[in-house]
């Protein structure tokens, strides 16, 4: 519980409200990466899936990558010698992904305020793999749902969704119910009223 409280304390200290809908944590995750913060998050996110085998930790380019890596390190300490790999969906198609060699899905970026596409090589998640989807934010659920759909395209299984910050007032969890997987968030932002972050008491749910 100490780490969860520490994570919430760091968000309260460094996070900023931008208008009434955007949380800025660019000194922790989204521009400058605080690796201690990412390590705390990864440790706690790994705990909630401790009893389940994990093959892949999937995130989206780019802010979720550091948390996904630390989650994988903690998961692998628990389930050695079974190693979970980190995969991130790309927001543009590189030339290394030939036609017919990838899955693609439409999504929407809140921070860029525009539609994006997410690309996943058809070779990076094995069929039947146990996938833990990890990302920095859960707001309206569009990115996480798109990642969930990519897992479905790969014919793999979603173990759970894990996020660092959830804006509970945007009801993004409802977008994920169709996957039938649990959703865990470390920091729950209940409102940005008055230009301030209002956080719920720390809980792992």
Query: What are the DSSP calls for 39-107, one per residue?
Result: HHHHHHHHHTTTTS--SEEEEETTTTHHHHHHHHHHHHHHHTTSPPEEEEEBSS--TTS-TTSEEEEEE
Which tokens in the block code for residue 22? 């955007």
For residue range 33-74, list pLDDT tens digits in order. Answer: 999 999 999 999 999 999 899 999 999 998 999 999 999 999
Structural domain harbouring 56? 2-199
Report the CATH number that the domain containing residue 11 is assigned in CATH.
3.40.50.2020
For residue range 162-174, list pLDDT tens digits in order. Answer: 999 999 999 999 9
Position 61 in a domain: yes
pLDDT at residue 32 in the model: 96
Number of domains in the chain: 1
Give CA–CA dist 154/106, Å, rounded: 16
pLDDT at residue 124 in the model: 97
φ/ψ region of 176 (left if φ > 0, alpha if ψ in -120 to 50, else beta) reads: alpha
Position 205 in a domain: no
pLDDT, tens digit only, all 205 positions of the chain? 699 999 999 999 999 999 888 999 999 999 999 999 999 999 999 999 998 999 999 999 989 999 999 999 999 999 999 999 999 999 999 888 888 899 999 998 776 678 889 999 999 999 999 999 999 999 999 999 999 999 999 999 999 999 999 999 999 999 999 999 999 999 999 999 999 999 999 998 8
pLDDT at residue 112 in the model: 67
Is 120 in contact with 153 (CB distance < 8 Å)? Answer: yes
Position 152 in a domain: yes
């Amino acid at each position: 519980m100490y780490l969860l409280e520490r994570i919430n304390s760091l968000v309260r200290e460094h996070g900023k409200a931008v208008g009434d809908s955007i949380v800025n944590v660019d000194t922790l995750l989204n521009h400058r990466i605080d690796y201690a913060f990412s390590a705390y998050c990864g440790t706690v996110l790994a705990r909630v899936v401790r009893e389940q085998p994990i093959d892949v930790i999937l995130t989206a380019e780019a802010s979720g990558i550091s948390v996904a890596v630390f989650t994988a390190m903690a998961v692998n300490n628990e389930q050695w010698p079974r190693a979970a790999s980190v995969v991130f969906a790309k927001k543009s198609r590189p030339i290394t992904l030939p036609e017919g060699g990838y899955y693609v899905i439409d999504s929407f970026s809140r921070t860029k305020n525009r539609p994006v596409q997410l690309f996943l090589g058809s070779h990076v998640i094995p069929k039947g793999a146990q996938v833990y989807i990890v990302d920095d934010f859960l707001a309206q659920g569009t990115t996480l749902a798109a990642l969930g759909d990519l897992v479905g395209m790969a014919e793999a299984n979603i173990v759970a969704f894990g996020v660092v910050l959830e804006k509970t007032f945007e009801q993004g969890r409802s977008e994920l119910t169709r996957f039938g997987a649990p959703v865990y968030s470390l920091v729950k932002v209940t409102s940005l009223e008055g230009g301030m972050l209002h956080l719920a008491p720390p809980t792992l749910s």
